Structures are given as C-alpha cells and as structure tokens.
Chains A and B, each alone.
Chain A
Amino acid sequence: AQSVTQLDSHVSVSEGTPVLLRCNYSSSYSPSLFWYVQHPNKGLQLLLKYTSAATLVKGINGFEAEFKKSETSFHLTKPSAHMSDAAEYFCVVTFGDDYKLSFGAGTTVTVRA
C-alpha cells in the first residue's frame, strides 16, 4: 500500500534561517510528488512537483525539494525563512495513473522574528 509520512508535525525557525520539512513515501511504483502550502482558511497552493525529470526541483518563493529514490524521500527546503512562510505544508504523493492522492498529515511552520 502507498503512504506518505511527514516526519515533523511542527517546525519553528527564526526569520532568515534555513527551513527543512521532511517527507518520506512508501510505494513499489514510481511516484509523482508534490509540496503544497496552505495559509489559514485558504485553499492549497502548489509549491513544486516532481514527475520523474530532474531530481532537484525548484519551486515558487525560493523553495526547492530533492527526490531521493534510494531513501524514498522528498524533503522541502528554503535557505532563508520569511515571516510570510508561516503556514501549513503538505507533502502529496500519487502513483502511476491513479487519480487518488495520498496526503501527509501536514507540517506547521512557525517563523520567529
């Protein structure tokens, strides 16, 4: 069975310091992987996606993620956090032609001034 695990439910960083959000998946198939961000009472906005092209994926707002097949991971990073990065982040996985997505439980990011 496919699944996705976000290893941290809450991450707190100081403004200007790096952010790391961890995501692992399990599947026998080649995945498509996404990171979404959700601000309070809003929909989900796509940050970036991996679909079997380059393993290092660059997204919006300075975020990037690296697909590591050997580690079944797709961690999200940003070199310097901004106050506006405070939000909920979701790692999302889908496999093959499946219409159903698997969502991680989410990671809440707090940015300290």
Chain B
Amino acid sequence: DGGITQSPKYLFRKEGQNVTLSCEQNLNHDAMYWYRQDPGQGLRLIYYSQIVNDFQKGDIAEGYSVSREKKESFPLTVTSAQKNPTAFYLCASSIGHGGNTIYFGEGSWLTVV
C-alpha cells in the first residue's frame, strides 16, 4: 500500500543525546514536511522540503536538523540543543505546493527521560 511510514512509534531520549526519527514515503511526492504537536495544541512546522537536496526552516527549526538525500526519505534529527523535545512528531508529504492535499504519517512519540 502507498503511504508514509514513520519509525519508531515511541522513542525515549536521555538528556544530551541526539535522536533521529525516520520518515519514508512511497507516494512519489516531491514535498515533505515535519510537524511537532504538543498535547492539546495544533501543529507547528519544523522543516519542509520541496525537492531532493533542498529544505527550508519552518516556524520552530531551532534544535532540529533534516536531510533530503532521496526523494522518498526525510529524516529528522532532534539535537541536544532542543531544550524541550518531548512531543508527538508528524511527517507529511504532498505532490507539490500547498494547494495539493498533504498526507500524514502515523506519528512518533519522543520522550526525554
């Protein structure tokens, strides 16, 4: 089936560690996105990529990094510089710009222990 796969579903991080969340899509979409969702709140954009080897900062990029070496993959690294990383992270993709439907993965929970 076509879709977006995020892994792991649950991840625990110790203080000072970097962690990487995986996002893979087989929809042949050019654009990919990472959002952060805190309990009871809406989604905030971390990074987005319109095409391979290119990405832009969203509204809350500090403490995060991404890469887009392949069209189907857009991993997100949560660095130790992110002071409050505990949240639900959602990866998404779309064919092109915002007028097109954005499809979401099932999300990954990151907890700092």
Of residues 47 through 95 on chain A, the ones whose CB sits less than 8 Å from some CB of chain B are: 49, 51, 90, 92, 94-95
Say which size band chain B's interface belongs to.
Answer: 20 to 34
The answer to whether B42 touches A41, judged by C-beta atoms less than 8 angstroms apart, is no
A42–B105 Cα distance when bound, in Å, is 8
The answer to whether B99 touches A32, judged by C-beta atoms less than 8 angstroms apart, is yes
The answer to whether B41 touches A43, judged by C-beta atoms less than 8 angstroms apart, is no
Q: Mark B29-65, 1 if CB is under 8 A from A, else 0.
A: 0010100000011111100101000001010000000
A98–B109 Cα distance when bound, in Å, is 28
Tell me the total A-B contact number using a CB cutoff of 8 A: 63
* Minimum CB–CB distance for A99 against chain B, Å: 5
- Determine whether A101 belongs to the interface, using a CB cutoff of 8 Å to chain B: yes
The answer to whether A43 touches B99, judged by C-beta atoms less than 8 angstroms apart, is no
Residues of A within 8 A of B (CB): 32, 34, 36, 41-46, 49, 51, 90, 92, 94-101, 103-106
The answer to whether B42 touches A34, judged by C-beta atoms less than 8 angstroms apart, is no
Pick from A36, A44, A92, A98: contact of B97, CB below 8 A: A98
Closest partner residue, chain A, to B88 (CB atom): A41
